[in-house]
A and B are shown apart, each in its own frame.
Chain A
Amino acid sequence: DVKVTQSSRYLVKRTGEKVFLECVQDMDHENMFWYRQDPGLGLRLIYFSYDVKMKEKGDIPEGYSVSREKKERFSLILESASTNQTSMYLCASSLLGTTLSGNEQFFGPGTRLTVL
Chain B
Amino acid sequence: AQKITQTQPGMFVQEKEAVTLDCTYDTSDPSYGLFWYKQPSSGEMIFLIYQGSYDQQNATEGRYSLNFQKARKSANLVISASQLGDSAMYFCAMRETNTGGFKTIFGAGTRLFVKA
Interface residues of A (CB under 8 A from B): 30-31, 33, 35, 40-45, 48-51, 54, 56, 58-59, 90, 92, 94, 96-102, 104-107, 109-110
Interface size class of B (residues with CB under 8 A): 20 to 34
Which residues of A sit under 8 angstroms from B45, Cβ to Cβ?
A: 90, 92, 105, 107
Q: B99 interface residue, CB < 8 Å from A?
A: yes
Q: Do A109 and B101 touch (CB < 8 A)?
A: no
Q: Do A42 and B106 touch (CB < 8 A)?
A: yes
Q: If A90-B45, A101-B33 touch, does A42 touch B109 (CB 8 Å cutoff)?
A: yes
Q: Do A56 and B106 touch (CB < 8 A)?
A: no
Which residues of A sit under 8 angstroms from B44, Cβ to Cβ?
A: 107, 109
Q: A99-B95, A102-B33, A105-B37 are in contact. List 18 more A-B contacts (CB 8 A).
A: A30-B101, A31-B101, A42-B107, A42-B109, A43-B93, A45-B104, A45-B106, A48-B103, A56-B101, A58-B103, A58-B105, A96-B101, A99-B31, A99-B102, A100-B32, A102-B50, A105-B35, A107-B44
CA gap between A104 and B108 in the complex, in Å: 18
Q: Do B102 and A31 touch (CB < 8 A)?
A: yes
Q: If A50-B100, A99-B95 touch, does A40 touch B108 (CB 8 Å cutoff)?
A: yes
Chain A nearest CB from B9 CB (Å) reads: 7
